Structure 1
Amino acid sequence: MSQTPSPDVVIIGAGVVGAACAYYARAAGLLAAVVDRGPVAGGTTGAGEGNLLVSDKEAGPELDLALLSTRLWRELADVLPAETEYEAKGGLVVAPDETTLKALRAFAEGQRARGVEAVEVDRDALRELEPHLAPGPAGGFLYPQDAQVQPAQAAARLLAASGAPAYLGEEVVEVLTSDGAVRGVRTAARTLLAPAVVNAAGTWAGEVAALAGTTLPVLPRRGFVLVTEPLPRVVRHKVYAADYIADVASDSAALQSSAVVEGTPAGPVLIGATRERVGFDRGLSPQALRRLAAQAAALFPVLADVRVMRTYHGFRPYLPDHLPAIGPDPRVPGLFHACGHEGAGIGLAPATGALLAAALTGGEPPLPAHPFRPERFDGAPPEGARPAGRSRSVPRRNP
């Protein structure tokens, strides 16, 4: 086993969140090292669509985090290579009826108070924005701040820009401690000594927390994505029915699906998203795939006869109150967490990295960090967090 030169911080996880933590640690003057049992973006990041959304987040701490990340992603787009495929395409939320449209108005009103751009569009304007959209919706809301990246490339380019050495294919088997405080990590190949360790292990973050002698109730939530054959740009924005907002907020373990449809620079259309808690079951779900295909064709009839070239799925790291855990763990000095973002990790990664860098250096955080404190599950929910089980105010239709 080799002894590697000591960094200031070891980051466990080479997904987009771990890469962002390394990038902003470097910006704060820290030397980071990244370790992952697989490749870059080998977990949740590589199975994502690359969503950078504010449209699906109600007013509160997660939305504030998303707005900060929106600004930071724009800055990153100017310095990262073009392969990141940052595209400020905007999001379009579609309301099938007047009742849902009324609920969307109230939802958007709260968002606007926090700085979100939300523009109501009527039935005719919807068709101007998306000519291939099915007739019938009562209206919707356009969110110009919604954007997109190629997730695996975003993680790889952020990690490369951080300058951090990455030890890939090396599983952390021990979090080293002394007198109750973290002192580094050990893999089968090497020991990495550092005064700080960041748990950015995604759906496996609970296991990493246990290695350090603490707990974090991260659970996997499976989701599928369909990829069509390459097409002309038939979908201009990221388009989804209002059901999706309720699905994101739901605590149900059962299968839920609501179509999120978007074109890509390369041509294929991506169709998500499903959610279900089935542990780490990687089995294919024909029911989930049929639902997605039917819902996408209902939004865009032009897709009904388009070939699906492949499907992929992954696991979102789910925490009970739908907020990530970001910051120091007071139960284990030297341990920091950056995990539990569920399906929003790609969008929230830069703000997470900036918050972590401030915590590591004792600097002023860019926004209040209290709602994301990792130890909050030991007691009462943090102020401002949405308690588990409370749905957002947009009604959910039966599938």
Structure 2
Amino acid sequence: MSDGGDVIVIGAGIVGAACARELARRGQRVLVLDAGLPAATAAGMGHLIVLDDNPAELALCQYSLQRWRDWAGEMPEDCAYRQNGTLWLAANAEEMAVAEAKCLALSEHGLDCQLLGSSALQAAEPELRQGLHGALKVSGDGILYAPNAARWLLDHPLIERRQGHAVEIDGNRVRLASGAWLRAEAVILAAGNQAGALCPELPITPKKGHLLITDRYPGRISHTLVELGYVSSAHNSSGPSVAANIQPRPTGQLLIGASRQFDSTDAEVEPQMLARMLRRAVDYMPGLASLNAIRAWTGLRAASPDGLPLLGEHPQRAGLWLAVGHEGLGVTTAPGSAALLVAQLFGETPPLAAHAYLPQRFLGAAAHA
């Protein structure tokens, strides 16, 4: 049995890194196990966004974005943090009514929101097609290059990042593929879709997504552009879906999404799905059709049944703590997830009410079956 420090974190993506940093900040020695497997952190857009599908989602996003803003001055430039804001695009009067309701809901929680009419939207983003009814501008949203942000979070003298593939968890003990066992006071599982191999009882479903990035075209857009249909697409429970999501990168490149599929875990780019996604984006920004694309790729989001992460101690495995099921909001909500989980681990009052995120909402029933 080897010493795994005070806490072992399984997973070196953005959520695991944020948990490790929160623990190290409290003086804990943290061992982060990196299996070297594909992670959503490296595949995603890095969009820092407040979604409000339910109050718990809004609270976790809002708290986390404030943490990212607080950290902005500490992060190195290669983390590419920018507070560029999101424009939620309304294609018709019905969607504009949705934008108005969304503006009211976010404003009531203190977020900086502004409704733009058709002409104001055209002035803000001339590359958008004519005829859009308007948009909701959420100024506090931003972007981030998540792989470098995760590396920055792990850069702490009390954090050791080690290549190691965990194959078994027994409470606060972890067995590696080499056969070696590690032990700590607690183990945090933050391994995204790989978490299911260690805990098959977790209700985690992979959602495949495609992304494409262009060559450098500085100044084409300044905000992240998202159609209001993105919300229904993101929470679609079955079947493939696409929605326009166009993000300006600090390099001058444009990052284009988004798609969701339940029926495929193949890492290969699917030309039909990619084409469908790009047609949707071009419908909102016609000039995209003439730009040069340099790379397309896919990733898998780890989704829970209700769209909220599982944050807390496993109800049947004492010593094992869960930080999984973030779907497309892992980068956004990593700081809040870490703060909420670590507060529970230390028996403190969490910064947010924890009930909506507790693993018991899915795993508790199984304990009495």
On whether the aligned pair clears a TM of 0.5, the verdict is yes
Matched, 1:241 2:227: yes
Matched, 1:69 2:59: no
Q: 2:54, 2:282 → 1: CA distance?
A: 31
Aligned amino acid, residue 284 of structure 2? L
Which residue in 2 is equivalent to 1:7?
5
Cα distance per residue 1:330-389 (max 9 Å; x no partner): 211111100100011000000011112111211220110110011211468xxxxxxxxx
Structure 1 361/29 Cα, relative in aligned 2: closer, same or farther at 3 Å? farther
Structure 1 11/379 Cα, relative in aligned 2: closer, same or farther at 3 Å? closer
Matched, 1:355 2:303: no
Structure 1 279/28 Cα, relative in aligned 2: closer, same or farther at 3 Å? farther
Whether contact under 8 Å (1:219, 1:279) holds in the other structure is no
Matched, 1:229 2:218: no
Whether contact under 8 Å (1:59, 1:111) holds in the other structure is no
- Which among 296, 299, 315 is matched to residue 311 of structure 1? 296
Structure 1 305/324 Cα, relative in aligned 2: closer, same or farther at 3 Å? same
Which residue in 2 is equivalent to 1:391?
none
Aligned amino acid, residue 46 of structure 2? G
Whether contact under 8 Å (2:244, 2:277) holds in the other structure is yes
Kindly state the Cα deviation for residue 162 of structure 1 after the two structures are TM-superposed.
Answer: 6.7
Q: 1:378, 1:188 → 2: CA distance?
A: 27
Supply the RMSD in Å over aligned alpha carbons. 1.6
Q: 2:264, 2:166 → 1: CA distance?
A: 22
Kindly state the Cα deviation for residue 4 of structure 1 after the two structures are TM-superposed.
Answer: 4.1
Matched, 1:205 2:195: yes
- Which among 30, 39, 44 is matched to residue 43 of structure 1? 39
Whether contact under 8 Å (1:199, 1:339) holds in the other structure is yes
Give structure 2 stretches of 5+ with no counterpart.
none
Q: 2:131, 2:336 → 1: CA distance?
A: 38
Q: 1:89, 1:107 → 2: CA distance?
A: 19
Q: 2:269, 2:145 → 1: CA distance?
A: 24
SS at match of 2:216: coil
Matched, 1:156 2:151: yes
Structure 1 372/282 Cα, relative in aligned 2: closer, same or farther at 3 Å? same
Query: What TM-score do the two structures reach when normalised by structure 2?
Result: 0.95
Whether contact under 8 Å (2:112, 2:140) holds in the other structure is yes
Kindly state the Cα deviation for residue 296 of structure 1 after the two structures are TM-superposed.
Answer: 1.7
Kindly state the Cα deviation for residue 300 of structure 1 after the two structures are TM-superposed.
Answer: 1.4
Whether contact under 8 Å (1:19, 1:159) holds in the other structure is yes
Matched, 1:141 2:136: yes
Q: 2:230, 2:68 → 1: CA distance?
A: 23
Whether contact under 8 Å (1:228, 1:308) holds in the other structure is yes
- Which among 21, 25, 43 is matched to residue 19 of structure 2? 21
Q: 2:224, 2:74 → 1: CA distance?
A: 24
Kindly state the Cα deviation for residue 145 of structure 1 after the two structures are TM-superposed.
Answer: 1.1
Q: 1:305, 1:81 → 2: CA distance?
A: 34
Kindly state the Cα deviation for residue 262 of structure 1 after the two structures are TM-superposed.
Answer: 1.3
Equivalenced residue count is 364
Greater mean alpha carbon deviation, residues 317-326 or residues 77-86: 77-86
Q: 2:158, 2:83 → 1: CA distance?
A: 27
Q: After the TM superposition, which residues 265-304 of structure 1 pair with which residues of structure 2 at under 5 Å, given as runs?
A: 265-304=250-289
Structure 1 322/59 Cα, relative in aligned 2: closer, same or farther at 3 Å? closer
Whether contact under 8 Å (2:210, 2:258) holds in the other structure is yes
Cα distance per residue 1:230-272 (max 9 Å; x no partner): 11220100001111111112212x1100110011111210000
Q: Which runs of 4+ in 1 moved over 6 A?
A: none
- Which among 88, 91, 111 is matched to residue 93 of structure 1? 88
Q: 2:243, 2:176 → 1: CA distance?
A: 41
Kindly state the Cα deviation for residue 280 of structure 1 after the two structures are TM-superposed.
Answer: 2.1
Whether contact under 8 Å (2:24, 2:156) holds in the other structure is no
Whether contact under 8 Å (1:58, 1:111) holds in the other structure is no
Kindly state the Cα deviation for residue 50 of structure 1 after the two structures are TM-superposed.
Answer: 0.4
Query: Aligned residues: percent identity?
Result: 34
Q: 1:373, 1:86 → 2: CA distance?
A: 30
SS at match of 2:155: helix
SS at match of 2:361: helix
Which residue in 1 is equivalent to 2:104?
109
Which residue in 2 is equivalent to 1:397?
none
Q: 1:307, 1:126 → 2: CA distance?
A: 25
Whether contact under 8 Å (1:199, 1:336) holds in the other structure is yes
Which residue in 2 is equivalent to 1:396?
none
- Which among 302, 320, 324 is matched to residue 339 of structure 1? 324
- Which among 149, 170, 184 is matched to residue 194 of structure 1? 184
Which residue in 2 is equivalent to 1:175?
169
Query: What TM-score do the two structures reach when normalised by structure 1?
Result: 0.88
Structure 1 142/150 Cα, relative in aligned 2: closer, same or farther at 3 Å? same
Greater mean alpha carbon deviation, residues 157-166 or residues 338-347: 157-166
Greater mean alpha carbon deviation, residues 316-325 or residues 326-335: 326-335
SS at match of 2:83: coil
Cα distance per residue 1:153-181 (max 9 Å; x no partner): 1111111147411112x2102213xxxxx
